[in-house]
Structure 1
Amino acid sequence: MRVLAAMSGGVDSAVAAARAHDAGHDVTGVHLALARNPQTYRTGARGCCTLEDSRDARRAADVIGIPFYVWDMADQFHDDVVDDFVSEYAAGRTPNPCLRCNEKIKFAAVLDRAVALGFDAVVTGHHARLGPDGLLRRSVDLAKDQSYVLAVLTGEQLARAVFPLGDSTKAEVRAEATARGLAVADKPDSHDICFIADGDTRGFLERHLGSAPGDIVDGRTGEKLGTHNGAYAYTVGQRKGLDLRVPAADGRPRYVLSITPKTNTVTVGPREALAVDTVTAARAIWHGAPTPVDCDVQLRAHGEVVPAAVTVEGGGLTARLREPARGVAAGQAIVAYRPDAGGDIVLGSATITAGHASEELVRG
């Protein structure tokens, strides 16, 4: 099989490319140049869009013995990921840029170009598995599992994806990289958001959206408790950095309950007011299982799973949670899993539009 290996410059993608080569595939490595100005992106192996990463990927391809190219996709990345990130925050939602990158760049633009060039599939270093049924499953290394950010992929895209690392732990991947003589064996994992050079998300959004002062109010009384410079700097469930000028009567911390862009208002309240037992979502991608279905749902990256009854209808998804969840933010993904002896199977995903509390939950 002729495959294109997406090589970020990290240890995972390097070992994935090497395994694909060992399996007898005709492998070509490609590094995606995603930064319009790479010098402004992270260095020191903290991101995945730097000049340093490009050089690391090239050296790994040389060691493996495969052809290597760099594809400039900076404009598309900016339009589909960076601009989307900014506009989602402006609309009061909390996006996941890694999920959007997988959806729009790695398994849409890259896969489309790869197929047009005669490749059969795209290989990546994601920690996830594909079963013989073509369904996505969690990695054996649950601490590194990335099925959540891949769950947005369609069946057609999964059919042309190869994830060689799903049956290995991260420690095993690093040990293999050392044995293969790959210089990236001990390279730290990337952290935070790759296109925010200093890690200051609030500052990044303010530079793009400008200062927009507004009120922070109590969710129960409507009392003004403080001000903010932009509602986009907050997310549901946030506790720190609220800078409230009026302390709670009971002395307990308060959390962001909602963001309302129309009035530029951030509403806060006690932790129990965050609880929801129904989640609605849009743009559902579902892999054939009939609904309603009892399953587990994950409501944010690396979040805990919650048992739920899920229904998909008209492109939307509704999850009725068996246990209340807190900090459910619009813009994040809800991913449904079916517990399985061979590893949790991804049934589908959708983009959260809202969390709702039933009257019974509100009454307690």
Structure 2
Amino acid sequence: MALDNDKVVNSLGFAKTPAETRVVVAMSGGVDSSVVAAQLAEEGYDVVGVTLQLYDHGAALAKKGACCAGRDIHDARRVAEEMGFPHYVLDYENTFREAVIDEFADSYLAGATPVPCIRCNERVKFKDLLETAKDLDADCMATGHYIQRKMGQKGPELHSAEDAARDQSYFLFSTTPEQLDYLRFPLGHLPSKEATRALASRYGLSVADKPDSQDICFVPNGNYASVIEKLRPGAADPGDIVDVDGNILGQHKGVIHYTIGQRRGLGIGGLGDPLYVVRLDVDKRHVIVGPKEMLATRTIPVREINWLGDGKFSDQSERHVAIKVRSTRPPRDAIIRPISDTEAEIELLTPEEGVSPGQACVFYETSGSRILGGGWIWRGY
């Protein structure tokens, strides 16, 4: 029976049957994206699975069990075979290196704290892969991210996942309104990861019990410094650990081994009150340490803002929001003061510790689940 286009839409929001709706599923090889593909295939959609090879999975930088490595490509292909839909592997190694890995290395060398997973979503998955989906005449692209797309009065809105413990909104703030119109996130409403694994078992997927990937896909065991040394030989030049007055307290084996807020592993014990890394001076090769109170930040400059709220960002008057400066921290009350369409000053109502250039600053409604956008912290403290 034909659908009455004025009254009925399918589960992806289109006024046609699932069989008439083509959806490209971005498949990492993990349980989340595999469940999305299986669920949509079972509902009768015209599913096309696409997996990106983001780096040479035989190289030293590759991490076993990480997103988009060799085993994961095999697992994604196997799920496609089990559910009976086509699957393609696209070589995005050069794109990934240029758009994500090189900037990661350069930012780290500049004393910043980069978040490459956000850049990967922004510059590869939701840019090049999304265009590939359109080239395949897909009506939309679906992913296994834990976040929700809801229709508001002025179009689709981005909302936090139902399960706060799995919410990935911090990593997706740079999704543009145009991209959001095309994307779908079928897992965002689920109450827990256990519910996802239950669906995987119900579909009989071989990845139902596969462990989640950990850390950044191209960083083995979370050891950033070792990766930087491979990418940028000579990056680990030694230097001095100094206090805020410039007094030398010790030596370090390379600025790349330190992050803002670090306390352990400084090798300068016995100097009285605990000292923390409060700033990195790459040019002088100085790791600058001070007391914990020096980590407290109340004003944060942000640029490269992607605004997902209503209206034009620069037309906003100062606005009370909640912000996150790290994915693992709870939102903090703050005031946004726009400077231009892409720049703003953020005032925290309560100081936050360990804020570092290179981190993302993501804006949320003070009440409710909507993500209003975000930007990049760009100046040292």
Does 2:92 match 1:65? no
Query: What's the CA shift for 1:36?
Result: 2.4
Query: What's the CA shift for 1:97?
Result: 1.0
Which residue of structure 1 aligns with residue 252 of structure 2? 228
Does 2:173 match 1:173? no
Contact 2:365 2:372 survives alignment (8 Å): yes
Does 2:304 match 1:304? no
Does 2:186 match 1:160? no
- After alignment, is 104-113 or 21-30 more displaced? 21-30
**3-state SS in 1 of match to 2:208:** helix
Which residue of structure 1 aligns with residue 100 of structure 2? 81
Contact 1:255 1:268 survives alignment (8 Å): yes
Distance across 2 between alignment mates of 1:198 and 1:322: 36
Aligned alpha-carbon RMSD (Å): 1.6
Determine which of 325, 332, 357 is the counterpart of 2:359: 332
**3-state SS in 2 of match to 1:70:** strand
Does 2:238 match 1:218? no
Listed as ranges, the matches of 1:1-364 within 5 Å are: 1-38=21-58, 40=60, 41-43=62-64, 45=65, 47-133=66-152, 134-168=156-190, 169-209=192-232, 210=234, 211-219=236-244, 221-244=245-268, 247-249=270-272, 252-289=273-310, 290-314=316-340, 315-341=342-368, 344-354=369-379
- Opposite residue 157 of structure 1, the aligned amino acid is Q
Distance across 2 between alignment mates of 1:58 and 1:39: 21
Distance across 2 between alignment mates of 1:16 and 1:291: 40
Q: Structure 1 residues 202, 151: CA separation in 2 closer, same or farther (over 3 Å shift)? A: same
Contact 1:328 1:354 survives alignment (8 Å): no
1:158-196 CA-to-partner distances (Å, cap 9, x unmatched) read 111110000012110011101110111111111011112
- After alignment, is 50-59 or 15-24 more displaced? 15-24
Distance across 2 between alignment mates of 1:292 and 1:61: 49
Q: Structure 1 residues 230, 355: CA separation in 2 closer, same or farther (over 3 Å shift)? A: closer
Query: What's the CA shift for 1:117?
Result: 2.8
**3-state SS in 2 of match to 1:276:** strand
Distance across 2 between alignment mates of 1:26 and 1:291: 45
| Structure 2 residues without counterparts, runs of 5 or longer | 1-20, 311-315
**3-state SS in 1 of match to 2:174:** coil
1:56-92 CA-to-partner distances (Å, cap 9, x unmatched) read 1111112222111111101111111111110111111
Distance across 1 between alignment mates of 2:178 and 2:317: 21
- Opposite residue 324 of structure 1, the aligned amino acid is P
Q: Structure 1 residues 288, 200: CA separation in 2 closer, same or farther (over 3 Å shift)? A: closer
**Aligned pairs, number:** 348
**3-state SS in 1 of match to 2:332:** strand
Query: What's the CA shift for 1:222?
Result: 2.0
Q: Structure 1 residues 5, 38: CA separation in 2 closer, same or farther (over 3 Å shift)? A: farther
Which residue of structure 2 aligns with residue 359 of structure 1? none
- Opposite residue 326 of structure 2, the aligned amino acid is R
Distance across 2 between alignment mates of 1:253 and 1:56: 47
Query: What's the CA shift for 1:355?
Result: 6.2
**3-state SS in 2 of match to 1:141:** coil
Which residue of structure 1 aligns with residue 9 of structure 2? none
**3-state SS in 2 of match to 1:354:** coil
**3-state SS in 2 of match to 1:159:** helix
1:13-46 CA-to-partner distances (Å, cap 9, x unmatched) read 0011122334443210011111124354222x3x
Distance across 1 between alignment mates of 2:338 and 2:175: 17
Query: What's the CA shift for 1:2?
Result: 1.7
Contact 1:49 1:195 survives alignment (8 Å): no
Contact 1:333 1:351 survives alignment (8 Å): yes
Distance across 2 between alignment mates of 1:339 and 1:23: 36
Distance across 2 between alignment mates of 1:157 and 1:319: 26
Distance across 1 between alignment mates of 2:129 and 2:246: 49
Distance across 2 between alignment mates of 1:346 and 1:14: 26
Give the structure-2-normalised TM-score: 0.87
**3-state SS in 2 of match to 1:38:** coil
| Structure 1 residues without counterparts, runs of 5 or longer | 357-364
Distance across 2 between alignment mates of 1:355 and 1:37: 35
Give the structure-1-normalised TM-score: 0.91
Distance across 2 between alignment mates of 1:66 and 1:135: 30
- Opposite residue 105 of structure 1, the aligned amino acid is V
Distance across 2 between alignment mates of 1:318 and 1:136: 23
Contact 1:36 1:75 survives alignment (8 Å): no
Distance across 1 between alignment mates of 2:380 and 2:246: 21
**3-state SS in 1 of match to 2:188:** coil
Distance across 2 between alignment mates of 1:161 and 1:230: 42
